[in-house]
């Protein structure tokens, strides 16, 4: 088991740094850098990829906030202005994916480039960004899970629990290593998009069954599934559809 410790802020003189925000920022920078390198190796316009990341990040943060409101509708309905108080936290990565998709497709079409190819390049760095960013979730322990005896469980004050921040961080690392292996194998353009959608969607769907339901931070569920699980189903379905349309040997 992993000892419980919590790190929410770092103090540098008069400056207080939020650990979660710092790790997310570092994850974004790492993902952008890796995507830029991939664009260069593919002969694509690096500037488009860097500009794309700016728009995608903006869309992702907005929809991540919107999606979080679906998790806690009563909280936001009681105080609608809380939606604007982003410094209080409250973002959903699954909503972020949706926002990134909408804005990213719009931007790439506006630039009149191959949307599929550039999306594939941009998503190559995403697992690394998730690995780093989710470390922030683990350090502040904002996603406690159910009680467990699993060796990677965290010894919370009320017992050993699964920790989604840790699991999703490790998932990002494993997926990034898989991407590096796929790059070595020189797979078809579009493979990273398909693999990400199917892999991440599947992992997230099953992990959400381990989220706390006994008095810790409890997520709203609709017909026994979390909002993220519905998004996960769409991700897997979209990945399978793209695989059949773009990567299947029949095409």
SS3 assignment, position 162? strand
According to DSSP, residue 152 is labeled T
Average pLDDT, the chain: 90
Give me the pLDDT at residue 81, please: 67
Contact, 26 vs 128, CB < 8 A? Answer: no
How far apart, in whole angstroms, are the C-alpha atoms of residue 208 and residue 108? Answer: 32
Pairs from 86-93 (Cβ < 8 Å, separation ≥ 24)? 86/61, 89/20, 89/142, 90/65, 91/61, 91/64, 91/65, 92/64, 92/67, 92/68, 92/227, 92/228, 93/64, 93/130
Give me the pLDDT at residue 223, please: 87
Q: What is the pLDDT confidence band of residue 4, given thresholds at 50, 70 and 90? A: very high
SS3 assignment, position 137? helix
Q: What confidence tens digit (pLDDT) does each residue in 91-144 have?
A: 788 889 999 999 999 999 999 999 999 999 999 999 999 999 999 999 999 889
Q: What is the pLDDT confidence band of residue 240, given thresholds at 50, 70 and 90? A: very high
Taking residue 68's Cβ as centre, other Cβ atoms within 10 Å add up to 21
Q: What confidence tens digit (pLDDT) does each residue in 138-147 have?
A: 999 988 999 9
What's the number of CA atoms in the CB half-sphere (13 Å) around residue 62? 11
How far apart, in whole angstroms, are the C-alpha atoms of residue 129 and residue 135? Answer: 10
SS3 assignment, position 213? coil
Q: Extract the tokens encoding 67.
A: 């999606």
What's the number of CA atoms in the CB half-sphere (13 Å) around residue 12? 4
Give me the pLDDT at residue 69, please: 80
Which pTM was predicted? 0.90
Give me the pLDDT at residue 213, please: 73
């Amino acid at each position: 088991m992993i000892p419980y410790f919590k790190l929410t802020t770092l103090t540098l003189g008069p400056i207080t740094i939020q650990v979660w925000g710092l790790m997310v920022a570092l994850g974004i920078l790492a993902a952008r850098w890796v995507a830029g390198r991939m664009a260069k190796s593919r002969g694509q316009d690096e500037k488009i990829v860097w500009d794309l990341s700016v728009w995608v990040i903006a869309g992702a943060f907005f929809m991540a906030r919107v999606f979080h409101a679906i998790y806690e509708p009563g909280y936001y309905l009681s105080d609608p202005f809380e939606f604007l108080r982003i410094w209080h936290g409250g973002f959903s990565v699954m909503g972020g994916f949706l926002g990134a998709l909408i804005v990213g497709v719009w931007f790439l079409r506006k630039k009149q480039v191959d949307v599929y190819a550039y999306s594939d390049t941009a998503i190559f760095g995403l697992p690394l960004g998730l690995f780093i960013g989710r470390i922030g979730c683990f350090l502040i322990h904002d996603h406690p899970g159910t009680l467990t005896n699993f060796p990677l469980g965290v010894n919370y004050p009320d017992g050993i629990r699964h920790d989604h921040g840790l699991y999703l961080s490790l998932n990002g690392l494993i997926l990034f290593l898989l991407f590096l292996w796929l790059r070595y194998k020189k797979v078809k353009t579009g493979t990273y998009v398909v693999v990400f959608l199917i892999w991440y969607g599947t992992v997230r769907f099953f992990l959400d069954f381990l989220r706390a339901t006994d008095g810790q931070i409890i997520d709203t569920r609709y017909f026994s599934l979390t909002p993220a699980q519905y998004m996960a189903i769409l991700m897997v379905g979209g990945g399978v559809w793209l695989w059949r349309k773009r990567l299947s040997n029949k095409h």
